[in-house]
Amino acid sequence: MTVPNTPNRQTQDYQALDAAHHIHAFLDQKALNAEGPRVMVRGEGLYLWDNDGKRYLDGMSGLWCTNLGYGRKDLVAAASKQMEQLSYYNMFFHTTHPAVVELSETLFSLLPAHYSHAIYTNSGSEANEVLIRTVRRYWQILGKPEKKVMIGRWNGYHGSTLASTALGGMKFMHEMGGMLPDIEHIDEPYWYANGGELTPAEFGRRCALQLEEKILELGAENVAGFIAEPFQGAGGMIFPPESYWPEIQRICRQYGVLLCADEVIGGFGRTGEWFAHQHFGFQPDTLSIAKGLTSGYVPMGGLVLSKRIAETLVEQGGVFAHGLTYSGHPVAAAVALANIKALRDEGVVNQVKDDTGPYLQQCLREVFGNHPLVGDIQGTGLVAALQFAEDKTSRKRFANEGDIAWRCRTIGFEEGVIIRSTQGRMIMAPALVAGRTELDELVAKTKLAVDRTAMELGLL
């Protein structure tokens, strides 16, 4: 690997300008200004370099999005060619264009056959905004306009715009002006923390039954849909017990509630299947997509609809009163097309399923299975979480688990690996092109970070 190009400015200069002009995401700006943000200047494959030449193994695929890794010349070429040919046109004015048409042709060849239509957006948040309106529109067309309540989950994450914040279950986000009427929440299926004496299977069913109770409380005639991530990402990479999704699906079907999967993190190969709902074996009515759709090279998201919903909208719906200037943006579509073709044709998703996914999961269990700080290991494919625990037998978590995990994350940066902390969990989700050597490095550096954390706690 080469060292990055000589930067134009000193790191402090970037930091001063950054502090002068930015409010960063999900951080205390004053504290960040005092510390100064890291300035990233280059990416190649799974590696990033900061402005001082320090190299990091990116164990988080950026923000769960760089599925193909950084610096792919073919994606750059796809963007550049499209910019030269048709830099912009829209899907208003009775118009379409080859890039978006070909993207959809390929996307729907990879999706299960019961999906047929997409509404493209610029982000996952927007996909979930469109979801609410589309689902409500669907029920209006079917003569049930009172079916408009959406049910989400506490600690779910569906984005940072107003309605996607409300759909999500992050209370601290709701408190910042982020709640809306006709949105309700049920508990998350986080067995390690909340399962008590129940087995995972019993707890999974119990959590799912909360959906039934909520639907009965609200009246099924008022409930439009249930939205959830197949596994919770930002909420801590929480995998539900196996009993959960079959029961959720049964309840949704029984009460005529649309089942909406947020595949923004799980989509495009993360679990070794193309979409995470395929890993868990259920059949959603809609899929929200973003992130891995373009591997983060350009912003793009979308809402995928089942044939049943799309047919209703198309055949009986009349005018669909929604559109974004950049829906199906040609450059984003061209990049997305090149990206998903590469994921398919280079066998990336298959490799995650058959080789690198099982390899990472096995290594993590070998290395951390008996670690004094780690109580549980969850994950499949190239996504995993280590649950910190004070007492493994009773599943007692540290009172300050968030601080401990944050400390581990900070040590990770010092050791040159980017892993993420949420509550008392360390999360990793490397690019899907990671080979065994890079995964070995990820596990080894994560071990350094977890060991140093354990030493600071006097556990090692």
Phi, psi of 77 (to 5 degrees): -65, -40
- Taking the least distance from each CB to ligand PXG, the nearer of 26 and 93 is 26
Minimal CA–CA distance to 136: which of 225, 253, 37?
A: 225
Give me the least distance between CB of 62 and ligand PXG, in Å please: 10
Question: Judged by CB under 6 A, which stretch of 68-76, 157-165, 357-365, 447-455 contacts ligand PXG?
Answer: 157-165
Paired tokens of 58: 């990116």
Closest residue to bound ligand PXG by CB: 124
The rounded Cα 320 to chain-centroid distance in angstroms is: 28
Question: Judged by CB under 6 A, does residue 59 bind ligand PXG?
Answer: no
- Taking the least distance from each CB to ligand PXG, the nearer of 124 and 328 is 124
**Cβ atoms < 10 Å from Cβ of 223:** 27
Q: Which of residues 265-284 bind ligand PXG (CB under 6 A)?
A: 265
Output DSSP code: residue 432.
T
Give me the least distance between CB of 423 and ligand PXG, in Å please: 12
CA–CA dist 117, 140 (Å, integer): 19
Amino acid at position 332, single letter? A
Judged by CB under 6 A, the residue of 4, 159, 272, 381 near ligand PXG is: 159
- Taking the least distance from each CB to ligand PXG, the nearer of 163 and 264 is 264
Question: Judged by CB under 6 A, does residue 240 bind ligand PXG?
Answer: no
* Largest distance between two CA atoms of the chain: 67
- Taking the least distance from each CB to ligand PXG, the nearer of 299 and 317 is 299
Judged by CB under 6 A, the residue of 75, 186, 223, 264 near ligand PXG is: 264
Judged by CB under 6 A, the residue of 229, 247, 401, 438 near ligand PXG is: 229
Minimal CA–CA distance to 167: which of 176, 275, 236, 181?
A: 181
How are strands ordered across the β-sheet holding 374-380? 374-380, 383-388, 425-428, 420-422
Give me the least distance between CB of 359 and ligand PXG, in Å please: 24
Question: Judged by CB under 6 A, does residue 234 bind ligand PXG?
Answer: yes
Judged by CB under 6 A, the residue of 152, 225, 233, 412 near ligand PXG is: 233
Contact 203, 241 (CB under 8 A): yes
- Taking the least distance from each CB to ligand PXG, the nearer of 63 and 209 is 63
Give me the least distance between CB of 20 and ligand PXG, in Å please: 24
CA–CA dist 361, 421 (Å, integer): 18
Give residues with Cβ within 8 angstroms of 190, minimum separation 6: 155, 232, 236, 238
- Taking the least distance from each CB to ligand PXG, the nearer of 188 and 262 is 262
Interaction pattern, residues 105-144, with ligand PXG; x per rule: CB under 6 A = ------------------xxx--x----------------
Tell me if residue 64 falls in helix, strand or coil.
helix
Judged by CB under 6 A, the residue of 97, 158, 214, 397 near ligand PXG is: 158
DSSP string of 20-74, one letter each residue: HH---TTS-HHHHHHH----EEEEEBTEEEETTS-EEEETTHHHHT-TT-B--HH
Question: Judged by CB under 6 A, does residue 438 bind ligand PXG?
Answer: no
DSSP string of 84-107, one letter each residue: HHHS---S-TT---HHHHHHHHHH
Question: Judged by CB under 6 A, does residue 290 bind ligand PXG?
Answer: yes
Question: Judged by CB under 6 A, does residue 262 bind ligand PXG?
Answer: yes
Give the CA radius of gyration of the chain. Answer: 22
Q: Which residues bind ligand PXG (CB under 6 A)?
A: 63, 123-125, 128, 157-159, 229, 233-234, 262, 264-265, 290, 301
